Amino acid sequence: GDQLEEVMGKRTRAIERKLRQVEQLPHEESQKILPIDVEDDLTDY
């Protein structure tokens, strides 16, 4: 169990790091990479 948690923790941190990098991109850049309307996405929740 411990090893799985360790691996998942590393993966989760890696994903969070990636997400922070994406959040730091200018809006135009992120639109090229993720051609979705983020504002529409957020209002669904």
Tens of each residue's pLDDT in the chain, 45 residues: 789 899 999 999 998 988 888 777 676 766 676 666 656 656 655
pTM of model > 0.75: no
Q: DSSP letter at 38?
A: H
- The secondary structure of 13-33 as a DSSP string is HHHHHHHHHHHHS-HHHHHHH
Number of domains the chain contains = 1
For residues 8 and 42, give the distance between their C-alpha atoms in angstroms, rounded to a whole number: 26
Q: How much is the pLDDT for 11? A: 92
What's the domain range around 9?
A: 2-43
Q: How much is the pLDDT for 1? A: 74
